[in-house]
Chain A
Amino acid sequence: MGALSLSQVTKSFGKTEVIKGVDLEVAEGEFCVFVGPSGCGKSTLLRMIAGLEDVTGGDVNLDGVRINDLAPAKREIAMVFQTYALYPHLTVRDNMGLALKQAGEPRAAIDAAIKRASAMLELDPYLDRRPAELSGGQRQRVAIGRAIVRRPKLFLFDEPLSNLDAALRVATRIEIARLHRELGATMVYVTHDQIEAMTLADKIVVLRAGKVEQVGSPMELYNNPANTFVAGFIGSPQMNFLKAGALGQRGETLGIRPEHLRITEAGQIKGTVSHVEKLGGETLVYIKTDPHGLVTLRLFGEHDFAYDAALSLDIDPPRAFHFDKDGQRLR
């Protein structure tokens, strides 16, 4: 239950088109992440699936049924919001049970569903508190619990971790991944953070300016980006884009990830160390080069470099990507 399919979906606000014809298939049980810079339309697309925004054109289908004109509550979806959006006047228990109560479920069934969800998320001690008495992480767990209780066909997450601090973000990310395994439900997740996308997704959809740039599994996008935008967006630190002509390579731009550069005696890329970041497990070296600008080198383990020391680098040829002047990949 829960195969989502979008065909030629568009959205316009007045004359501005913000979603420009999106086609997408999300299989049952799949974890699909929409990722892109802010303003790319990923949240709008999610809200269109939820029914919170009208669909200007195209079809949104859930399990083969067209849901374009269905009210949000009738779509059998649940949504988790960035700002938690808990009802301030209700206890945790009532927050989680409200949707079922509105649907007219019997009290016993509601209680059982709340119990199941609260056990899953370890929320039992907080059931009778109000949202104002909870910490940020607890509130987001309640919001996730509120989604689980409904047993929806489709879970929607709108940047659920953005308001949490770094440590909590990692813990909640793992929790969401675990829930996905346990529930086996279809999930659509929006984020601007490529690490969340890489770690959670079965399928990543990279969006830019209302269009899908590329769809694929995390490793497909990492190893086989379709253009410079996807190549630059996926992977951290960002891929280096070098002038292909200066290196005697084909295409306009040569993309190489920081981990695929090597220090060699007579490398093609020469420069001086401009900055070093030591992270313990890895060392990032920023090298000022001509004509490529600042190049990032990622080394594993601890390394020492003097500032302004001369370095020469070589690329790992099979790991290099070639792009034409429009940023499209040359294969």
Chain B
Amino acid sequence: MHSARTSPRSSKGRSIAAHAILLTYTLIALFPVFVIVINSFKSRKAIFAEPLMPPMPGNWDMVGYTTVLQQGDFFQYFLNSMTVTCASLFFVLLFGAMAAFALSEYRFRGNLLMGLYLALGIMIPIRLGTVAILEMMVAGGLVNTLTALILVYTAQGLPLAVFILSEFMRSVSDDLKNAGRIDGLSEYRIFFTLVLPLVRPAMATVAVFTMIPIWNDLWFPLILAPSEETKTITLGSQVFIGQFVTNWNAVLAALSLAIVPVLVLYLIFSRQLIRGITAGAVK
């Protein structure tokens, strides 16, 4: 549509410029990840001597990975991270979508105030309440449990989820929901079978935004669940960072491994996102 109006040459130039900008940004964004991954395969000496060179046959060393897999219970840490991320994600999406549906669909007293109250959480970082949260968890006997982390992360993710999803829910056709009501579907069935599939792209967006900070978080695992059994992968990697000596091989290997699961989750959601956009559900 755009290229039809501009001449082919200028549109090509524009396209090259756009791609150049995007590629530059991609390089900047991916560079740290790239450095971590290449160095995780090198010997300690090579990491410090030539940090930007890819691993060569001469300095190839898997010691980082063997350390990580032998020392500590890394599989357990992975499992903890996965459990916490997936469970929090599930609750954020479920409760976020339900709250968003209620706010966008029903007229009730205090609807707007409730929406603002929920949106307030976007502006106030949850870490400000760390002391109170810790006191609550101690009182509830939840310290050193994954439940504590799941509860905190669900609270952390909900404001943005409610905010984004309620905007999308407003765009779902009223006629469709009303048709369901006339056919005798319950409000829950309308929500789960009619509305949720139509806001799937928004759900995927929210999932990605919610998932990555949870996976990467060091703060709450350190405070609420630092025990050996409940350590997450980010916290687990810290054992190799000492006050005087840091085992860089192991740290880099642990971080490289930590990227994989979140990458897989991201790929799943981004496919959903694309499918949601191209499906053309109504109309």
Chain A residues within 8 Å of B, Cβ to Cβ: 47, 50-52, 71-73, 77-79, 81-89, 98-99, 102-103, 131-132, 146, 158
Is the beta-carbon distance between B173 and A83 smaller than 8 angstroms?
Answer: yes
Q: Which residue of A lies closest to B185 (CB)?
A: A102
Render B214-239 as a binary contact track against A, CB cut-off 8 A, 1 for contact.
Answer: 00000000000000000000000000
Chain A residues positioned under 8 Å from B176 (CB to CB): 83, 85, 87
**B residues within 8 A CB of A51?**
181-182
* B contact residues around A77 at 8 Å (CB): 182
In the bound complex, CA of A304 to CA of B22 (Å): 64
The answer to whether B264 has its CB under 8 Å from any CB of chain A is: no
Which residue of the partner chain B has the closest CB to A150?
A: B183
> Main SS of chain B's interface residues?
helix
Within 8 Å CB of B282, what residues of A? 83, 88, 131
Q: Could you tell me the distance between the alpha carbons of A77 and B179 in the complex, rounded to whole angstroms?
A: 11
Distance between Cα atoms of A102 and B193 in the complex (Å): 14
**Beta-carbon contact of B193 and A89 below 8 Å:** yes
Q: Is the CB of A50 within 8 A of B182?
A: yes
Counting from the closest, the 7 A-B pairs by CB-CB distance are: A73-B184, A102-B184, A85-B175, A81-B175, A85-B179, A99-B183, A88-B281
**B194 interfacial by beta-carbon distance below 8 Å:** yes
Instruction: Give me 16 A-to-B residue pairs in the complex whose CB atoms sit less than 8 angstroms apart, sorted by A's number.
Output: A47-B178, A50-B182, A51-B182, A52-B182, A71-B181, A72-B181, A73-B184, A81-B175, A81-B178, A83-B176, A83-B283, A85-B176, A85-B179, A87-B180, A102-B183, A103-B184
Residue in B closest to A104 when the chains form the complex, CB atoms: B184
Nearest CB in chain A to that of B189: its residue: A102
Q: Is B280 an interface residue (CB 8 A)?
A: yes
Contact B178 A85 (CB under 8 A): yes
**Complex interface: chain A residues within 8 A of B197 (CB):** 88-89
- Chain B residues in contact with chain A, CB under 8 A? 173, 175-176, 178-185, 193-194, 197-198, 279-283
**Contact residues in B for A131 (Cβ distance below 8 Å):** 282
List residues of chain B with CB within 8 A of the CB of A50. 178, 182
CA distance A83 to B178 in the complex (A): 11
Q: Which of B173, B176, B179, B279 has the most CB of A within 10 A?
A: B179
CB distance from A16 to the nearest CB of B (A): 13
A81 touches B181 (CB 8 A): no
The smallest beta-carbon distance between B64 and chain A, in angstroms, is 48
Q: With A and B bound together, what is the CA distance between A158 and B176 in angstroms?
A: 13
Pair A79/B179 contact, Cβ less than 8 Å? yes
Q: Which residues of A contact B279 (CB under 8 A)?
A: 132
| Closest beta carbon of chain B to A146's beta carbon, Å | 8
Query: Given A52-B178, A99-B182, are A85 and B281 also a contact pair (CB < 8 Å)?
Result: no
Residues of A within 8 A of B173 (CB): 83, 85
- Which residues from chain A contact B178 at a C-beta distance below 8 Å? 47, 50, 52, 72, 79, 81, 85
Q: Are A78 and B182 in contact (CB under 8 A)?
A: yes
CB distance from B195 to the nearest CB of A (A): 11
Q: How far is the CB of A132 from chain B (nearest CB, A)?
A: 6
Which residues of A are found within 8 Å of B181, using beta-carbon distances? 51-52, 71-73
Residue of A nearest to B182 (CB): A72
> B183–A98 contact, CB under 8 A?
yes
- Please report the C-alpha to C-alpha distance between residue A72 and residue B183 in the assembled complex, in whole angstroms: 8
Q: Which residues of A contact B183 (CB under 8 A)?
A: 73, 98-99, 102, 146
Residues of A near B180 (CB, < 8 A) are: 87
Q: A81-B178, A132-B280 are in contact. Are A88 and B198 (CB under 8 A)?
A: yes
Q: Give Cα distance in the complex from A52 to B279, angstroms.
A: 29
Question: From B282, which residue of chain A is reached at the shortest CB distance?
Answer: A88
Q: How far is the CA of A72 from the CA of B197 in the complex (A)?
A: 24
- In the complex formed, the residue of B with least CB distance to A78 is B182
Residue of A nearest to B281 (CB): A88
Evaluate whether A99 and B184 lie within 8 angstroms (CB atoms) in the complex, with A79-B178, A85-B176, A85-B179 already known.
Answer: yes
| A residues less than 8 Å from B182 (CB atoms) | 50-52, 72-73, 77-79, 99
Q: Kindly state the separation between the CA atoms of A320 and B180 in the bound complex, as whole angstroms.
A: 49
Residue numbers in B under 8 Å from A88 (CB-CB): 197-198, 281-282
CA distance A79 to B198 in the complex (A): 22
Bound complex: CA A50 to CA B180 (Å):
12
Q: A87's contact among B184, B194, B280, B283, by CB below 8 Å, is which?
A: B194
A99 to B185, CA, bound (A): 8
CB distance from B223 to the nearest CB of A (A): 44
Residues of A within 8 A of B193 (CB): 87, 89
CA A177 to CA B282, docked complex, whole Å: 27
B176 — nearest CB in chain A belongs to which residue? A85
Contact across chains for A82 and B175 when beta carbons are under 8 A apart: yes
Task: Give complex CA distance A45, B122 in Å.
Answer: 40
Q: Find out whether the CB atom of A81 lies under 8 angstroms from the CB atom of B280.
A: no
Please give the distance in Å from A322's CB to the nearest CB on chain B: 43
> Do B185 and A81 have beta carbons less than 8 Å apart?
no
Q: Is the CB of B179 within 8 A of A132?
A: no
Which residues does chain B contribute within 8 Å of A79, judged by CB atoms? 178-179, 182
When C-beta atoms are compared, the residue in chain A nearest to B198 turns out to be A88
Alpha-carbon distance between A102 and B186 when the two chains are bound, in angstroms = 10
Cα A73 to Cα B190 with chains together (Å): 13
* Cβ contacts under 8 Å, A73 to chain B: 181-185
| A81-B179, A89-B193, A102-B184 given; 20 more Cβ-contact pairs under 8 Å | A47-B178, A50-B182, A51-B182, A52-B178, A71-B181, A72-B178, A72-B181, A73-B182, A73-B183, A78-B182, A83-B176, A85-B175, A85-B178, A87-B179, A88-B281, A98-B183, A99-B182, A99-B183, A102-B185, A132-B281
